[in-house]
Structure 1
Amino acid sequence: MNKSISASDLGIHLQHADESALFKWFIASFLMGKRIQAEIAAQAYRVIVEKHGRDTARKLGGCTHQQLVSMLGEAHYVRYDETTATRLLNLCKKLSEEYAGKIGQIQAASADRQAFEKRLLEFDGVGPKTLEIFMRDAAAVLY
């Protein structure tokens, strides 16, 4: 069983209304939600967000598919690199177009936690596991 990696393990300090931290944790949760070792997913997060500075929906969404595949490869996140790159780009596009790039806008558009979680599951590639990982740390600052 993989050790659970928390937001704070990645240096993400979640606080109420901190969009930057929420976005970073959403991306980390997305990467860890796949059938891949948690440490490799954490490394992919570090490469994309810390090394390459893709820390907002706009910046990450501005990558080309090939740039993202290369970043994932750099982190040895290779098994799902093509689909993950596509899904990350789609996620950023949807987040930007529908919620101004902000997790807080998803929350504001949701009547309650259940509605919020339902909206998160509408993102391509976000399934129950990604949702569980994200909410494990984010729920405390969102609800």
Structure 2
Amino acid sequence: MAKAISASELGIDLKPADDASLFKWFIASFLMGKRIQAPIAAQAYKVIVEEQGRDTPRKLQHCTSRELVSMLGRAHYVRYDESTAQRLLDLSAKLNAEYAGKITHMRSASKDRQAFEKRLGEFDGVGPKTIEIFMRDAAAVLF
């Protein structure tokens, strides 16, 4: 099995109450949570967040599905590109609508880690694997 890629390996410095880094790690975890090679998912993260600057829920939500499919394609993340693009748009829209675009607001609304993980799982396309990847690095700064 391939070695897991951490937030720090992607240049994401997770800190308590730092929504920018938490959002970046959520996007990376979402991409790596699919049945796709971790280095390809990491490259997709770099294209979307670093090269294209879609580093906040608002900026990501203002992409078109076609733009996102193109970004995923540049990273060779092509297996689920259309559904992944739509789910990234839905994820950012839900985060903006329900939590003012802030993962820390989702944390505040959760009484404990289990409740927080349940909220993560309410995002379309976020399953147990994505939650596991995200919490592996984020739990230390969230709880």
Q: Which residue of 2 aligns with 1:35?
A: 35
Residue 109, structure 1, aligned to residue 104, structure 2? no
CA RMSD, Structure 1 to Structure 2 (Å): 0.3
* Letter paired with 1:18: D
Report SS of the residue matched to 1:6. Answer: coil
Residue 24, structure 1, aligned to residue 21, structure 2? no
Structure 1 residue 45: Cα displacement = 0.1
* Letter paired with 1:107: R
* Letter paired with 2:18: D
TM-score by length of 2: 0.99
Structure 1 residue 2: Cα displacement = 1.5
1:35-84 per-residue CA deviation (whole Å, 9 max, x = no partner) reads 00000000000000000000000000100000000000000000010000
Distance in structure 1 (CA, Å) of the matches to 2:121 and 2:113: 12
TM-score by length of 1: 0.99
Q: Which residue of 1 aligns with 2:54?
A: 54
* Letter paired with 1:87: R
Q: Which residue of 2 aligns with 1:14?
A: 14
Distance in structure 2 (CA, Å) of the matches to 1:96 and 1:74: 27
Distance in structure 2 (CA, Å) of the matches to 1:93 and 1:16: 23
Q: Which runs of 5+ in 1 are unaligned?
A: none
Q: Which residue of 2 aligns with 1:65?
A: 65
Structure 1 residue 3: Cα displacement = 1.1
User: What is the total number of aligned residue pairs between the two structures?
Assistant: 143
Structure 1 residue 114: Cα displacement = 0.5
* Letter paired with 1:125: G
1:83-121 per-residue CA deviation (whole Å, 9 max, x = no partner) reads 000100000000000000000010011011100000000
Distance in structure 2 (CA, Å) of the matches to 1:2 and 1:122: 27
Distance in structure 2 (CA, Å) of the matches to 1:18 and 1:108: 13
Q: Which residue of 1 aligns with 2:86?
A: 86
Distance in structure 1 (CA, Å) of the matches to 2:75 and 2:142: 30
Q: Which runs of 5+ in 2 are unaligned?
A: none
Residue 124, structure 1, aligned to residue 124, structure 2? yes
Q: Which residue of 1 aligns with 2:5?
A: 5
